[in-house]
Amino acid sequence: MKRPFGQHFLFDPNILGKILDCSSVTLDDTVVEIGPGLGRLTKLLSERAKNVIAIEFDKKLITRLRENLSTKTNVEVVRADALKFPYDTIKGRFRVVANIPYYITTPLIFKLLEFREKIPSMTLLLQKEVAKRIIACPGGKDYGVLSISIQLYTKPELKFIVSGKAFSPPPKVDSAVVHFKVSSSPVYKVNDEALLLKIVRAAFSQRRKTIANSLKLFEGIKDALREAGIDPGIRPETLSIQDFIRIADALR
């Protein structure tokens, strides 16, 4: 049974257990699960957490989900769009554990990071290619805007790869579990976050060009690169987050 909203059911109990172990959930925690499907992971979470809020958008699944979880008194099933859910209405802090539909992965992560002061960690099952981009370091083809934007507020760690065979029906691509330690303030000292992200997006929109050429729209970029100690002839993908921050500070 394939979900109409692009998600596949994860049925392997060993993998569900490993996701739970990676999540660091304890009996003191409230957990938000997004896309619970038929509630297999939800049941396991309910045994480890104080409360579980399961957010499901598919109205065809809601009835079955509530039936499957009817004996779990610490689980609340909510029919809502996870991209529009008011996470600030949840009392206290909460961890996020989710098998995210591929097509909303990036917008959902950024939506959750808007509430980073309430979220100490996220453990997410993602498409493997997206996971590789999220955790990427400078110097590789996977490193770019997504890597920097997410690593600005989190420390993501790829925990393990999940074969498509673990799902029903199996997707055409493999998945990966990524655990994010979330910081309420930037992991790096940033004076102007909006300018920094504007520079990063401009740099990687033309990643085959030198950093000086890709940022030539910014007035005074040559002087800023000199002040930041950045070789104007190198490519954007070789620069660390701290390098981009120094460029932003110099441009200010």
Q: How far is CA 126 from CA 21, 130, 133, in A?
A: 17, 7, 11
Q: What is the pLDDT of residues 133-188, one digit of tens each?
A: 999 999 989 999 999 999 999 999 999 999 888 777 777 889 999 999 999 999 99
Q: Which CATH architecture has domain 193-251?
A: Orthogonal Bundle (1.10)
Q: Give DSSP secondary structure letters for 2-18.
A: --TTS--EE--HHHHHH
Mean pLDDT of the chain: 93
Q: Which residues pair with 75 in a beta bridge?
A: 52
Is residue 241's pLDDT more than 70? Answer: yes
Alpha carbon distance 147, 123 (integer Å): 17
Q: What is the pLDDT of residues 210-225, one digit of tens each?
A: 999 999 999 999 999 9
**pLDDT number for residue 4:** 46
Percent of all residues in the chain with a pLDDT value above 90, rounded to a whole number: 83
Residue 29 zone, left/alpha/beta (φ > 0; ψ -120 to 50; rest): beta
Tell me whether domains 9-182 and 193-251 share a fold: no
Strand order from edge to edge, sheet including 51-56: 75-79, 51-56, 30-34, 95-99, 121-127, 175-182, 154-162
Q: Do β-strands 121-127 and 175-182 pair in parallel, antiparallel, or remain unpaired?
A: antiparallel
Pull the structure tokens for residue 1: 């049974």
- State in words which class domain 9-182 has: alpha beta
128-135 and 105-113 helices, crossing angle to 10°: 40
Is residue 3's pLDDT more than 50? Answer: no
Task: Give the pLDDT band of residue 7 (cuts 50, 70, 90).
Answer: low
CB contact set of 209 (below 8 Å; sequence gap of 6+): 235, 236
Alpha carbon distance 48, 158 (integer Å): 22
Is residue 5's pLDDT more than 60? Answer: no
Alpha carbon distance 83, 112 (integer Å): 8
Alpha carbon distance 90, 32 (integer Å): 9
- For the chain, the domains span 9-182, 193-251
Pull the structure tokens for residue 241: 């987050």
User: For residue 169, is the peptide bond before it cis, meaning its omega torsion is within 30 degrees of 0?
Assistant: yes
CA nearest to 86, candidates 30, 43, 32, 154: 32
Q: What is the pLDDT of residues 84-122, one digit of tens each?
A: 999 999 999 999 999 988 889 999 999 999 999 999 999
CB contact set of 47 (below 8 Å; sequence gap of 6+): none
Helices (H), the chain: 13-23, 40-48, 59-68, 105-113, 128-135, 145-151, 193-205, 211-214, 221-228, 241-251
Is residue 60's pLDDT more than 90? Answer: no
Task: Give the pLDDT band of residue 2 (cuts 50, 70, 90).
Answer: very low
**pLDDT number for residue 165:** 82
